[in-house]
Homo-oligomer: A and B are copies of this chain.
Amino acid sequence: MIDIKKSLAERVRPLEASAIREMFKLMGQADVISFAGGIPSPEVYPTDILAEISADILKNNGTFALKYGITEGYAPLIEQVAEKNKSQGIGSGCDVTIITTGAQQGIDLAAKSLLNPGDGVIVESPTFVGTLNSLRSYEASLYGVPVENDGMDLAAAEEILKTGKIKLIYTIPTFQNPTGITMSLEKRKGLLELANKYDCLILEDNPYGELRFYGEELPTIKSMDKDGRVIYVGSFSKTLSPGMRVGFLVGHEDLMDRIIVVKQANDVHTPLISQMIISEFMKQNDMNAHIAKGCASCKEKCDAMLAAMDKYFPEKAVYTRPEGGIFLWVTLPEGTDTGALLRKAIERKVAFVPGNSFMVDAAKPSNCFRLNFTTATNEQIDTGIKVLGELLADELK
């Protein structure tokens, strides 16, 4: 058996296995109450409708579905996505839309196509771990900017932009992962202005935007962009199914021209059966009505979790109250290690994701943690939050 470790590329050495993905394996095994996942309630999956659709596609259009497709994506789906985006002001004259194998691939393709080793990227701190790993794998230099109650701290961002090292700003402005926080309209405008002023690009990731259950809809940053400065990533993972792995990417044609070639060398194209099922579902059903059902479920679960937290959590634990999405964020007093807390919670069959996973410096213990409120049942939420409340009371006494 050879020592293959010495042959590994520099770029993959520092990558951390996602604590969340690793935890998925654990979840499958035992009777653990999981607040660690990241999907809307599975009970709203339209399995029967999709079963019929998939059989129809393979029976009536099977040869097309099973052959190679084009890299850009299944043409009718691209059109449906572009149409829907257009109704939200997304996509101007210089923009091109492609289908990706989940939003994760959209992020990865953008990172690969834009970032040389050492290029600076501003990310929210905390942010989505999948993006952190993708950026690390292209050896970008990551700069974390704190998230305030109304989104990214723009003054802190500008201090970093002034160094001239930043090529890209990555943001999840709506129901941010992991905090659940939404960036204010003022800050959305401000961030685009900063990108203009310091001539850098914005990667706007919006997987949760349609899952709003409180407050008023805000325009995406992309909808304010007429120059192709914003690359927009969307997904069907949170509105229809994550297992299908279908997302999309909207960006400047000159960038997309390269991204398509990179995708060719990555997976040739996104599986056609996934793309065609989603396209047909959108054609035959009222997608907005389907999403509204998902939203109602998210709201109920969020309300239930916040009610349980208000009841069981000690005062020293503070947490966000999201207007949508699937996550909320708990902050404990400085010095508390939520990694150690997780180990105790797992012993009592409850799981969450400790905050360090979402940080540029993942090795440093964090006093925060993320809770997903949509996967567990209401009863599990009450039981699990009670357990966490007891552990916290013990920890913070």
Q: Which residues of A contact B (CB under 8 A)?
A: 1-5, 7-13, 15-18, 21, 24-25, 28, 37-39, 42-43, 45, 47-48, 50-52, 54-59, 62-71, 93-94, 101-102, 104-105, 108, 112-116, 119, 130, 133-134, 137-138, 167, 201, 227-229, 237, 240-246, 252, 254-255, 258, 260-262, 264-274, 277
Given A9-B113, A67-B242, 13 extra CB contacts under 8 A: A11-B112, A15-B258, A45-B63, A51-B57, A51-B58, A66-B243, A68-B242, A68-B243, A133-B261, A133-B264, A137-B262, A243-B269, A266-B266
Contact A254 B133 (CB under 8 A): no
Residue of B nearest to A2 (CB): B227
Contact A70 B137 (CB under 8 A): no
6 A–B contacts, CB within 8 A, in A order: A9-B112, A38-B68, A42-B67, A68-B237, A101-B101, A134-B265
5 pairs of A and B residues whose beta carbons are closest in the complex: A47-B62, A51-B58, A55-B55, A66-B241, A133-B265
Contact of A62 (CB < 8 Å), options: B51, B114, B130, B261: B51
Q: In the assembled complex, how far is the CB of residue A311 from the closest CB belonging to chain B, in whole angstroms?
A: 29
Contact A54 B58 (CB under 8 A): yes
Chain B residues with CB below 8 A from A51, complex form? 54-59, 62
State in angstroms the CA–CA spacing of A21 and B258 once bound together.
14
Chain B residues with CB below 8 A from A270, complex form? 245, 271
Contact B38 A66 (CB under 8 A): no
Contact B59 A39 (CB under 8 A): no
A137-B112, A228-B2, A264-B130 known; A63+B48 contact, CB < 8 A:
no
Q: In the assembled complex, how far is the CB of residue A306 from the closest CB belonging to chain B, in whole angstroms?
A: 24
Contact A261 B16 (CB under 8 A): yes
Contact B114 A273 (CB under 8 A): no
Chain B residues with CB below 8 A from A137, complex form? 112, 262, 265
Contact A47 B67 (CB under 8 A): no
State in angstroms the CA–CA spacing of A10 and B94 once bound together.
22
Chain B residues with CB below 8 A from A271, complex form? 101, 243-246, 270-271, 273-274
Residue of B nearest to A245 (CB): B271
Chain B residues with CB below 8 A from A67, complex form? 39, 42, 241-243
A51-B54, A112-B12 known; A264+B71 contact, CB < 8 A:
no
State in angstroms the CA–CA spacing of A229 and B65 once bound together.
36
Contact A258 B12 (CB under 8 A): yes
Chain B residues with CB below 8 A from A28, complex form? 70
A104-B266, A243-B273 known; A68+B24 contact, CB < 8 A:
yes
Contact B264 A68 (CB under 8 A): no
Q: In the assembled complex, how far is the CB of residue A177 from the closest CB belonging to chain B, in whole angstroms?
A: 14
A12-B258, A228-B1, A229-B2 known; A17+B264 contact, CB < 8 A:
yes
A115-B9, A265-B130, A273-B274 known; A260+B70 contact, CB < 8 A:
no
Q: In the assembled complex, how far is the CB of residue A113 from the closest CB belonging to chain B, in whole angstroms?
A: 5
Q: In the assembled complex, how far is the CB of residue A367 from the closest CB belonging to chain B, in whole angstroms?
A: 26
Chain B residues with CB below 8 A from A113, complex form? 8-9, 12
Chain B residues with CB below 8 A from A119, complex form? 9
Contact A273 B244 (CB under 8 A): yes
Chain B residues with CB below 8 A from A8, complex form? 113-114, 255, 258
Contact A243 B272 (CB under 8 A): yes
Contact of A102 (CB < 8 Å), options: B3, B13, B244, B267: B267
A66-B244, A112-B137, A274-B273 known; A264+B18 contact, CB < 8 A:
yes
